[in-house]
Structure 1
Amino acid sequence: MRAAIYVRVSTEDQALRGYSLPEQREACRKKAEELGAVEIIEFADEGVSGATLDRPGLNALLDAAREGRVDVVVCRDLDRLSRRLVHQLLLMDELEKAGVRMVFLDFAWQDTPEGRLFLNIRASIAEYERETIKRRTTRGKLRKAREGGIPISFNVYGYRYDPETGKVSVVEEEAEFVRKMFEWFTTEDIGIVGVAKRLNRMGVPTRKNAPLWKRQVVWQILRNPVFKGEWRYRGVTVPVPAIVDAATWERAQEKLREARRLWANRGRHDYLLSGIITCGHCGKPMHGVYIAWWGKKDRRYSCSKTKECAGYTGCRPPRYVLADRLEQAVWEKVKEVLSDPDALAREAAAMAPQAEGLRRELENVEELLARTEKGREAVLSALASGLCDLDAIAKSKLAELKRRKERLEARKKEIEAALRAAERAAVEAEELRALAKQVLSEMDSFSFEEKRALVRALVAQVIVTGRPKPGNPDKSMEGVNVTVVLRLGETGIAGVISRKE
């Protein structure tokens, strides 16, 4: 018989209960030997809370059980396995399905209705004890906050917190730049990005010594009430030293609200190639920009990030390509592909052998869906029978199972669509030609969404090199080279045509 012993101790267990790994290890090994184990594997988690399932030792134990390397698991107590009833039920159900028997040292348990009842009662008491401690701790933190103390870690730019005294003090070398951020933002015609750019040009260090101030960090500072002297914890306001006055802070909030209103009403411009266009010089993605060129505003693509707070800058000097001309060139390439009978015939031949692989993947996805639904039903059954409460952990587990199911269902639909396209690709070349002609006759009347869908299906990447020659904006594609990489044999021309049939 192959036995596994599982031992766990948290910092709290060591301090309050005197639990130790050596004691658990010795007792569990002795029990495994008494059971007749000829091979004993040890799995341990030290300093890890029993309230979480994500433990290295526990994960390794479950892997060994799934692989059939373990016949029995010996554990000191049910609390060592987990402190939450819903986790205990899930773990024991998984071990049981793997054909592994559980043995606990501190109480005799049998896999009978009575044994399971006793197990659940014992686990419920342990969980009640933990929740009671948690509530007391939370109440203690709230009481400390109401008394003006800081009950949790306090790490805010511009401040220093002393955990021994519980006092918050201002770090003047950082507070100076907090004041400047609010001053620049509220008194100058400058936005959040402008503040970040100025800090970067000045070489101001961040709290974590990051290379750049990011827009999000500046935004968080400008909207945080702690800088006007109000630190908030669970609805309780704790007074701390103010770095800016309340009036300045309120002016910053008004400007932030106004910026959100202006952004919400800002015109949007569609860019057909977003997400698939790359600069052939710097290798960075190109994005749509709406800027003035020779005195006229228009849509363009650029690899250059004008924001100094961005992760990359792209080409220097900035590279801009007129969007209308570039999109028209790619659109003409799509037309050319659809009007080529030989390309359609090659596509039909390439798509046919993919069907079998798609069917195998579909079977795997359907099997995973069934297992996911079974796990979801197990949790719901435990909740319905009163074996566990709908606490945060149970909600998280159900949400995770729901997300997994949604992802699998989405992938199933994608595979089924690809299968239909692959099967449709097996039609005669003459029929494909006829369908292509139908699409070609309608292409120029497509909506933007229809054009984008067709381009995404047929074009894998657009690579742009060169620069527009200076002069008339109408000739701005002169000097620009465009390479269109097609998805032949991958997404499927025939599949696209069949969808438009």
Structure 2
Amino acid sequence: MIPAVIYARYSTDMQSASSVEDQIRLCAERAAREGMAVSQHYADHGISGASLMRPGIQQLLQDAMAGKFQVVFAEALDRISRDQEDVAAVFKRLNFAGVQIITLSEGAISELHIGLKGTMNALFLKDLSDKTRRGLRGRVEAGKSGGGNSYGYDVVRKVNAAGEPERGDRKINEDQADIIRRVFNEYAAGTSPRVIAKTLNAEHVPGPTGKTWGPSTIHGNKDRGTGILNNELYIGRLVWNRLRYIKAPETGKRLSRLNPADQWIVQDVPHLRIIDDDLWQKVKARQDATSLGKHDKSKAAGFWDRRRPRFLLSGLIKCGCCGSTFVKISQHHFGCASARNKGTCENKRTIRRDVLESSVLNALQHRLMDDKLLAVFCEEYTRHLNALRMAESGNRAKDEARLQKVIRELDRMIDAICDGVPAERVKDRMIALEAERAEIEKRLEAEPKEEKPLLHPSMGERYRQGVMRLREALADQDAPHEAVEILRGLIDRIVLHPSSEEESGFVMDIEGDLAGILSLCQTSKKAAGLSPDDLMQMKLVAGVGFEPTTFRL
């Protein structure tokens, strides 16, 4: 029997977890009628179809490339994705892997479905977005919330005379309102957001998210209206459409953009006022003075007023006690951000930047690629790569066999026409076979026939030489940026654990990207013959990357 799998998804617009089970049941019935054996189910619960950043669909694509099945069943094409570009990408990858998509709504999916349904789904998302915004605007102009809630308020739940829920009403939470007034008064009196946050955390006051307070939670961004000190709802002004959100095409993450002021919708809601005008103006005056001090070139700017340069390991260093990022706390030292800004971590130790960078570079160059462990990896990788090649060869063999069968059937039809069979009787079948023939031939031409080279036996030494060249490049002031980016690409994160044996020392774990290491081992693209897809497959084989390298500082 042909191996098949099922993909199901329900999104937040459906609000029904049972939808996944319903989709799987219907698809399983269809697969049984087709005489196919369903080996696995893939599902994404409560995730929008506007992005491919979903664990279920990503695992399906990975297993498809490994040759684990030949058919994917789904309720409809929009269950796989509503984005036209993403639908085309999934179809292309599955088609390359020799996997067919069959949906209950459209049947066997072809290029025609991808173009037509993809466009329809994209238009559906756009129309849904426009209708949602129209509804939210009407609610805001009526003085109600346009979605979400702010710290200091509770959601009011009630129903109208028809028994339908009325949404958008809020009321003041007096306990949280007292905290807001306290934050405003302390800031106006000269207390920094960092000290305010540490004090609130020491008193175990829950933050707006129910977790700890941070300085950015308080000061936010004045232009964007974020942060406790910038929320105009606290003075009875409801501002909507200040920001718009778009999704990054590569990551699917939502990014905010500031709208022009003439597009903002502002309504007075005096019953939601928490802060009086005098206190609000004092806070704004201090914010303006602080901002002016940072940008006044005539004044001697201190360390915290300067634009900090990007260091070699910035953003990669994590605290082994709480998991927070290590940040620059002075000109030469890194320290735990939570310990310094929130007071929620006991790890008060610091480390010099030059000591940390030198230690990491030495570890990468001399302690990472152990010859014995490297030999084990090369053996395992070669075995896995050969398995993938066998799967690819199997798919190619199926295509070649099918191509010969199509050619023989076309020849028989031509012979039948020559023997007197009316051409109209076989015309449609011949057109379909010719189209299938062209598709198979195109697929065979696109598949590489030559075998890719295996890992070079001296990969460990090449890696060490590559790191040495990068260290030399870092010392070159003319072109350090490229070297920094390459070296940072080898490291996922660096975890610093306080050493129990030394009062000021650390135990450091380095976790990295195996694909980056393998690419660094290449002497040239031509010699290595490894494409970006190959490197990605290597990373999938190794999971998150190489195992942590641990040593003491």
Task: Report the CA distance shift for 1:72/1:306 in structure 2 as closer, same or farther (over 3 A).
Answer: closer
Instruction: List aligned pairs for 1:406-421, cutoff 5 A.
Output: 419=465
Q: Name the aligned partner's letter for residue 87 of structure 2.
A: Q
> Aligned equivalents of 2:41 and 2:370: distance in 1?
51
1:152: which partner in 2?
A: 147
Q: Decide whether the 8 Å contact of 2:184 with 2:229 is kept in 1.
A: yes
Counterpart residue type for residue 8 of structure 1: R
Query: For residues 327 and 147 of structure 2, what CA distance do their matches in structure 1 show?
Result: 44
Q: CA deviation at 1:43?
A: 3.0
1:263–1:417: structure 2 CA closer, same or farther, 3 Å change rule?
farther
* Residue number in structure 2 paired with 1:311: 344
Distance 1:162 1:184 in 2: 30
- Residue 268 of structure 1: which of 292, 303, 308 is its match? 303
2:257 paired with 1:256 = no
Residue matched to 2:238: 231
Cα deviation, residue 301, structure 1: 9.8
Work out whether residues 8 and 21 of structure 1, in 8 Å CA contact, stay in contact via their aligned partners in 2. yes
CA distance in 2, matches of 1:47, 1:266: 49
Please say if residues 223 and 252 of structure 1, whose CA atoms lie closer than 8 Å, have aligned partners that are also in contact. Answer: no
Q: Which residue of 2 aligns with 1:190?
A: 191
SS of structure 2 residue aligned to 1:54:
coil
Letter in 2 for 1:311: T
- Residue number in structure 1 paired with 2:216: 216
- After TM superposition, the structure 1 stretch with the greater mean CA deviation from structure 2, 126-135 or 193-202, is 193-202
The equivalent residue for 1:104 is 103
Instruction: Tell me, in whole angstroms, the C-alpha distance in 1 between the residues paired with 2:26 and 2:337.
Output: 65
Is the 1:11–1:48 contact (alpha carbons within 8 Å) kept by the matching residues of 2? yes
RMSD across aligned positions (CA): 5.7
CA distance, structure 1, for counterparts of residue 369 and residue 202 of structure 2: 54
Whether contact under 8 Å (1:149, 1:238) holds in the other structure is no
TM-score normalised over the length of structure 2: 0.49
Contact 1:184–1:195 (Cα < 8 Å) also in 2: yes
2:60 equivalent to 1:65: no
* CA shift in 2, pair 1:229/1:99, >3 Å: same
Q: How does 1:23-422 map to 2 (within 5 A)?
A: 24-109=23-108, 111=110, 116-154=111-149, 156-164=150-158, 166-186=168-188, 188-200=189-201, 204-208=205-209, 210=211, 213-219=213-219, 220-234=227-241, 235-240=264-269, 241-264=272-295, 265-268=300-303, 309-312=342-345, 419=465
What is the percent sequence identity of the aligned residues?
A: 22
Q: Cα distance, 1:70 vs. partner?
A: 0.4
Q: In 1, are the aligned partners of 2:87 and 2:114 still within 8 Å (CA)?
A: no
Please identify the structure whose Cα radius of gyration is greater.
1
Equivalent residue, structure 2, for 1:458: none
1:251 to 1:102, Cα distance in 2 relative to 1, 3 A: same
Deviation of the 1:98 alpha carbon: 1.2
Asked if 1:7 corresponds to 2:42, the answer is no
Aligned in 2, Cα 1:171/1:273: closer, same or farther, shift over 3 Å? same
Which string of whole-angstrom CA distances, capped at 9 and with x for unpartnered residues, describes residues 453-491 of structure 1?
9xxxxxxx9x9999xxxxxxxxxxxxx9998999xxxxx
1:246 counterpart letter in structure 2 = D
SS in 1 for 2:154: strand
Distance 1:255 1:26, change over 3 A: closer
Equivalent in the alignment of 1:341: none
1:498 aligns to what? Answer: none
The SS at the match of 1:5 is strand
C-alpha contact (below 8 Å) 1:304/1:314 kept by paired residues: no
The runs of 5 or more residues in structure 2 that have no matched partner are: 159-165, 220-226, 242-263, 318-323, 359-364, 386-460, 485-495, 509-553
**8 A contact 2:499–2:507 mirrored in 1:** no
| 2:238 partner amino acid | W
Give the SS at the match of 2:5: strand
- Aligned counterparts of 2:506 and 2:180: Cα–Cα separation in 1: 48
Partner AA of 2:92 in structure 1: D
Matched position secondary structure for 1:68: coil
Q: Aligned partners of 1:151, 1:124: CA distance in 2, in Å?
A: 29
Q: How does 1:429-468 map to 2 (within 5 A)?
A: none
Relative distance call for 1:261 and 1:67 in structure 2 (3 A) is same
- Matched AA of 2:8: V
Contact preservation (8 Å) 1:304, 1:313:
no
Call closer, same or farther: CA 1:148–1:69 in 2, change over 3 Å: same
CA deviation after TM superposition for structure 1 residue 100, in Å: 0.7
1:307 and 1:50 map into 2 onto residues whose CA distance is: 40
Task: Give TM-score, length-normalised by structure 1.
Answer: 0.54
Tell me if the contact between 2:31 and 2:38 (Cα under 8 Å) persists in the aligned partners.
no
Counterpart Cα distance in 2 of 1:133 and 1:250: 40
C-alpha distance 109-119 of structure 1, shift in aligned 2 (>3 A): farther
* Conserved? CA contact 1:32–1:40, under 8 Å: no
Q: Deviations over 1:102-126 (max 9, x none)?
A: 2233335464xxxx23541233223
The one-letter code of the counterpart of 2:284 is Q
Structure 1: which amino acid aligns with 2:154? R
Higher relative contact order (CA 8 A, sep 6+): 1
Q: 3-state DSSP class of the match of 1:151?
A: coil
Query: What is the distance in 2 between the residues matched to 1:301 and 1:24?
Result: 52
